[in-house]
């Protein structure tokens, strides 16, 4: 068991609800919404739904279509049935649930994700965290670490774009893991010691380490501390870095 017990608490990050927020842009809010095609003069087909999704240029769904085409087709059929009934809420709910189901189905693959893909996902997570820190108060950012994007009262287009990037990198990582043939190896105590050393070298303090370890939501610098930890994990090279990143991803997704 890793000493980083905070992972079980603060890893509830955007990946956990990417479907809800991306679909809000696609099918209910913003400039592109499904209502514009919800009641056409002819019956909608899966090709219509596919065209509407692809028109949004959302990386999450592009990655699902490329890496898991059978799952994407099944999702299209479910969305089409809801859209034919003119039920916009059900379209959003089905889309959100479909993405969540796929995420949990393929999460066990993450320990065999190649290092380059694991790094890509964690970089997307770090970018999002930096974005939230720049836009929100420390208290809101801390709440974001616990509750994900629901903590943000008025997410803008750039925020949703960051969420989509997280979803896209994650499903690419799933696909790469499926093909990799790599062994699944848990981080050793030495691996955790190495990432801790890097955390200290880039400015991490004992107080920040304690706040991370205890998932202290009242600590005003929790978000910067977490950002430093992501940076440390991304900086750790070789097998130890791969072990840490894939373990972190596994914890993120299962929450």
Only one residue has tokens 């514009």, namely: 36
Tens of pLDDT, residue by residue over 210-247, are 898 888 888 989 999 999 999 999 999 999 999 999 98
Tens of pLDDT, residue by residue over 199-216, are 999 999 999 988 988 888
Over its length of 255 residues, how does the chain's per-residue pLDDT go in tens digits?
A: 333 333 332 332 233 323 333 334 444 433 333 334 444 446 888 999 999 888 988 999 999 999 999 999 999 999 998 888 877 888 888 888 899 899 989 999 999 999 999 999 999 999 999 999 998 999 999 988 888 777 888 777 888 899 899 999 999 999 999 999 999 889 999 999 999 999 999 999 999 988 988 888 889 899 999 999 999 999 999 999 999 999 888 877 776
pLDDT score, position 37: 42
In 221-232, which positions are buried (b, 16+ CB within 10 angstroms) versus exposed (e)?
bbbbbbbbbbbb
pLDDT score, position 61: 94
Q: How far apart are CA 58 and CA 236, in angstroms?
A: 31
Question: Does residue 39 sit in helix, strand or coil?
Answer: coil
Only one residue has tokens 């629901």, namely: 150
The model's pTM: 0.79
pLDDT score, position 90: 85
Tens of pLDDT, residue by residue over 78-91, are 999 888 887 788 88
CB 243 within 8 Å of CB 186: yes
């Amino acid at each position: 068991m890793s000493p980083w017990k905070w992972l079980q608490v603060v890893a509830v990050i955007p990946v956990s609800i990417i479907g809800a927020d991306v679909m809000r842009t696609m099918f209910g809010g913003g400039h592109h919404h499904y209502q514009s095609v919800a009641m056409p003069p002819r019956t909608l087909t899966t090709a219509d739904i596919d065209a509407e999704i692809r028109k949004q240029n959302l990386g999450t769904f592009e990655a699902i279509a490329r890496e898991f085409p059978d799952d994407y087709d099944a999702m299209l059929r479910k969305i089409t049935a809801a859209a034919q009934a003119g039920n916009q809420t059900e379209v959003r709910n089905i889309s959100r649930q479909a993405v969540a189901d796929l995420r949990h189905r393929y999460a066990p693959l993450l320990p065999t994700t190649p290092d380059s893909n694991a790094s890509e996902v964690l970089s997307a997570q770090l970018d999002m965290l930096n974005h939230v820190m720049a836009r929100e108060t420390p208290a809101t950012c801390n709440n974001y670490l616990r509750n994900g994007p629901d903590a943000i009262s008025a997410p803008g287009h750039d925020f949703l774009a960051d969420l989509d990037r997280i979803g896209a990198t994650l499903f690419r990582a799933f696909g790469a893991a499926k093909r990799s043939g790599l062994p699944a190896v848990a981080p050793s105590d030495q691996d955790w010691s190495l990432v801790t050393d890097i955390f200290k070298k880039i400015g991490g303090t004992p107080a920040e380490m304690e706040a991370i370890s205890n998932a202290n939501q009242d600590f005003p610098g929790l978000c910067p501390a977490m950002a430093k930890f992501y940076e440390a994990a991304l900086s750790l090279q070789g097998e130890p870095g791969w072990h840490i990143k894939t373990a972190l991803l596994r914890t993120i997704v299962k929450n």
